[in-house]
Structure 1
Amino acid sequence: MPLTPLKAAFLLALHATSTFASPVPNPKPNPLSIPGSLIPSIPVPGVNEIINNLAPPIPILRLPTPPIKSPPFTPSNLKPKKVGYFWTGPGNIQYADFLAVYSLDDDTFGTFITLVDVPTSGNEPHHLNVAKDGKTLVGTGLLSLLKTQDVEYFFDISDPYNPVFRNSGRAILSSIGDEIVAKPDGGFFITHMGSAAGTDLGRLTEWNAQGKLIGEFPALTDLSSTINILANQFSPHGLSIDFDKNIILTSDFVVPLSTLKPSLGIQKADTLRLWNLATRSIISTITIPGGGGIQDVKFIPGNKDSAAIATAVELGQVWIIYPFKHRADGTQGTAELLFDLGPRAKGVVAIYTDFSANGRFLYLSLTTANHIAVLDLKDLKKPVRLDNPNEQQPVIGVHSLRVTPDQKNLVALGYFVQQGDIGLINTPADYKVHYVDILPNGSLSFNRTIPFQTEFANRGGGKPHFSVIADLTDPKNPKFNSY
């Protein structure tokens, strides 16, 4: 939708009613952060269950009830060399969301180690990543806003076999947490796909190592960048940062509120934003015509031109972004079609990716096609597809992908999003952790799984959305997935 003077004036006035965010090195704790639910937990057996069962349905919003008491579990004393952390929602959303820890060693694969509840429920656990020092995990909540809960959940993994929930937080101008990139000096950048009300105009948020909000960008004082996001839909989901070259790429996916009922249809974007890292300001908008939701963007590891790939979901295509090339009009940042994934990939709701550490192999999850595609990018002018696009792979609703630190396996999770009766997105799922072998030529061989529906049957099943993989072969030098 074009930016009119009236629209610009209205939206700027609306923003001006909110608190300004600025990049300060040691911010005070966010006063809006509420670690638990608005309705406090009552430590009397059965009372929280009654509150949850009596909660009336509210259009779009959900009553901010506390989670009911979690079922007991028995942790393991096993200390495997390879560990998977899985940010998971229970099938029964009255229970708390949780971080599950499993062994990924060959001889003890799928052995449950422990789990950590957060103090809230119904967040729809979304992305998860690890700090550069390997001591903190942060997970985001896609639907936390519906219960007016915190969006970011931080875990201390100083003891990698016994994570501890540390704190939670929320932004001021934005919500709907998505992609996470760790900062070299500690802390994280996290995309928020929607505004504080779940509408258009999300933000790129920045957090320090203690899990405190530093800022939301573009800042309201950044007039040029604010005008940029008012001109075209700004729903940042994908995020990639080249810290050496001082640039950021975010990709715009969908307006979150448009995915919830009542809706006139999901509002999908076809843009990316190129940013100056140092100033946290937008340089330009890059458009993929008819993209229909640009869910993911990632810089290609080791590429001398800082090229990145972006996934256009409606088109079922992979595009290549050159952030330092200029268009005919002098605007910085170009987009070119890299590969069309074929008819099965069109309109598959979500296309997420991960790279091999050397940048040669690109893995792509085609969610509703129940398929993982593999591209060999040795020659960017002639990418080679390694999977059979017509193969019926043993995955359902696959989304999150993680190449393990040793580059031998791909961890693929069979769950994307299920909004239930309140929403338009309810993708089929098998709720499994798929531990897929990566063959020497980069292609895949499917074999082992961890079935979260049966593992957590006493919580109504488990819905693992995202993972972090640790290799603790050398305890003094732990390694994690590369992104």
Structure 2
Amino acid sequence: MSSDFETSRKLEFTSGTFDDTMNLFEGVIAIESVKDVLYGLIPTLPIVRPPLPPVSSPPFTSSSLKPKKLGYFWTGPGNIKYADFLAVYSLDDDTFGTFITLVDVPTSGNEPHHLNVARDGKTLVGTGLLSLLKLQDVEYFFDISNPYRPKYLKSGRALLSSIGDEIVAKPEGGFFITHMGSAAGTNLGRLTEWDGQGNLIGEYPGLLDLAGTANILKDQFSPHGLAIDFDKKIILTSDFVVPLSTLKPTLGIQKAHTLRLWDLPSRTIISTILIPNGGGIQDVKFIPGNKDSAAIATAVELGQVWIIYPFKKNADGTQGVAELLYDLGPKAKGVVAIYSDFSANGRFLYLSLTTANHIAVLDLKDLNKPVRLDNPDEVQPVVGVHSLRVTPDQKNLVALGYFVQQGDIGVLNTPADYKAHYVDILPNGALSFNRSIPFQTEFASRGGGKPHFSVIADLTDPKNPKFNSY
């Protein structure tokens, strides 16, 4: 990294405490020119929920069972007066669905969103989609050094951005996290970086990154999807929707059609990649083992999967080429959300079509001729399916039947079955549905449970735990 970049990062952020960061940030925004820009970008929030603490949680009994396979589920209660929580379940065949324990966070109404694990397997971080509406922290950190008894560690928030989404663990510890909205949930989110102790390092593009700021002002910047190739030193973020546009009153959801290609060492944007009329590019992931560092991106309105070649150049010389990989057909168009996960070898791609109540499977052995393995007309036993996780042993797919329900304040209220589906992966990559954990009945004392995201741990070798981490 250049000395100029290091200087600017130190000026903008500190890796110390949140209070230190806030003090430095207050100094930056005291600059009149910066203040003028922020006032123009951050409007008054139309909806703010009372920032009340949660009511006392119902009692529960932890299990002494120590299964080899665990599911950690970042969950919101059906009654948002209760605290949001991390629930832990056995995924072993003989004790499947046995409740192990749960951990409350100190706040409620966050709408638990994405979840991921640190590279050392000792820390989880979950984000809150609607934390902003109660003026609460967005990131929630858990200690899982004892995998059967997680502990809540701390919370944090970014300064310029909110609406936490996708999480990628850094090799040296800590995380990168996309934030889909500004500090008020409007356009101009950020890519954020956190250290291993859960302290904010930076938000990108930074205030002093003039080229990056010009880039995100030109096209809607609402980063949701995130993929990082640490060896090739590139980042891809995909732009989804402006969060505030999903809340009432609204003139319609503002959907993006772009991805950004970044230089990892400098945390700066190289180029903008367009998927014409994509209507929300929710997810992006590098294809494991691909020699060209190709990635897939999901265009929700189109119901299509695109392939991104980050090192190829377009006719105008810009870096990053997007090509249509597969059209998922009429039942996939406009399905609100399309999330994905890969098999470890990169051959099989699993795609959740949320409001179509369906999981699609593509065989990508030949990228020039993808083969669809599911029957698009099959009625699958899932409702509102969203997040997907292939288990570390590649034998199962964990699919959660809940996306988002904003209630009366918003226009996104997708049907759900509130279940954690544990789906068998057949030898050819196809799926067989047979088991699930019903969160509505499991947490009836909290008004039900809304599991949005999971992390799966395989502790078969306790000295070498395996996770489905990126």
Q: TM-score, normalised by structure 1?
A: 0.90
Deviations 1:384-427 (A, max 9, x none): 00000000000000000000000000000000000000001000
Letter in 2 for 1:295: Q
Establish whether residue 215 from structure 1 lines up as the match of residue 205 from structure 2. Answer: no
Deviations 1:115-174 (A, max 9, x none): 000000000000000000000000000000000000000000000000000000000000
Aligned to 2:416: 429
**1:316/1:345 contact within 8 Å kept:** yes
Establish whether residue 459 from structure 1 lines up as the match of residue 438 from structure 2. Answer: no
Establish whether residue 28 from structure 1 lines up as the match of residue 31 from structure 2. Answer: no
Letter in 2 for 1:341: L
Establish whether residue 166 from structure 1 lines up as the match of residue 153 from structure 2. Answer: yes
**SS, match of residue 304 in structure 1:** coil
Looking at structure 2, the residues matched to 21 and 192 of structure 1 have their Cα atoms a distance apart, in angstroms, of 19
Establish whether residue 471 from structure 1 lines up as the match of residue 451 from structure 2. Answer: no
**2:14/2:200 contact within 8 Å kept:** no
**SS, match of residue 121 in structure 1:** coil
Aligned to 1:240: 227
**SS, match of residue 31 in structure 1:** helix
**1:275/1:283 contact within 8 Å kept:** yes
Aligned to 1:286: 273
Q: Percent identity?
A: 83
Shift of 1:30: 1.3
**1:67/1:119 contact within 8 Å kept:** yes
Establish whether residue 331 from structure 1 lines up as the match of residue 318 from structure 2. Answer: yes
Aligned length: 441
Looking at structure 1, the residues matched to 14 and 354 of structure 2 have their Cα atoms a distance apart, in angstroms, of 40
Establish whether residue 361 from structure 1 lines up as the match of residue 348 from structure 2. Answer: yes
Shift of 1:59: 4.8
For 1:302-451, what aligned pairs fall within 5 Å after superposition?
Answer: 302-451=289-438
For 1:144-159, what aligned pairs fall within 5 Å after superposition?
Answer: 144-159=131-146
For 1:43-58, what aligned pairs fall within 5 Å after superposition?
Answer: none
Aligned to 1:262: 249
Structure 1 residue runs of 4+, over 4 Å off? 20-26
| Residue of structure 2 aligned with 1:67, choices 54, 71, 90 | 54
Query: What's the RMSD between the two structures over aligned residues?
Result: 1.4
Looking at structure 2, the residues matched to 435 and 27 of structure 1 have their Cα atoms a distance apart, in angstroms, of 39
**2:282/2:297 contact within 8 Å kept:** yes
**2:241/2:255 contact within 8 Å kept:** yes
Looking at structure 2, the residues matched to 284 and 330 of structure 1 have their Cα atoms a distance apart, in angstroms, of 10
Letter in 1 for 2:15: P
Deviations 1:176-230 (A, max 9, x none): 0000000000000000000001000000000000000000001111111110000
Q: Which runs of 5+ in 1 are unaligned?
A: 1-19, 35-57
Looking at structure 1, the residues matched to 20 and 364 of structure 2 have their Cα atoms a distance apart, in angstroms, of 45
CA separation of 1:137 and 1:427: change in aligned 2, threshold 3 A: same
Letter in 2 for 1:80: P
Looking at structure 2, the residues matched to 425 and 309 of structure 1 have their Cα atoms a distance apart, in angstroms, of 25
Looking at structure 2, the residues matched to 456 and 338 of structure 1 have their Cα atoms a distance apart, in angstroms, of 41
Looking at structure 1, the residues matched to 246 and 91 of structure 2 have their Cα atoms a distance apart, in angstroms, of 35
Letter in 2 for 1:28: G
Q: Which runs of 5+ in 2 are unaligned?
A: 1-7, 23-44
**1:22/1:219 contact within 8 Å kept:** no
Shift of 1:29: 1.2
Aligned to 2:111: 124
**1:33/1:170 contact within 8 Å kept:** no
**SS, match of residue 119 in structure 1:** coil
Looking at structure 1, the residues matched to 12 and 135 of structure 2 have their Cα atoms a distance apart, in angstroms, of 26
Looking at structure 2, the residues matched to 25 and 362 of structure 1 have their Cα atoms a distance apart, in angstroms, of 38
Aligned to 1:90: 77
Looking at structure 1, the residues matched to 170 and 267 of structure 2 have their Cα atoms a distance apart, in angstroms, of 14
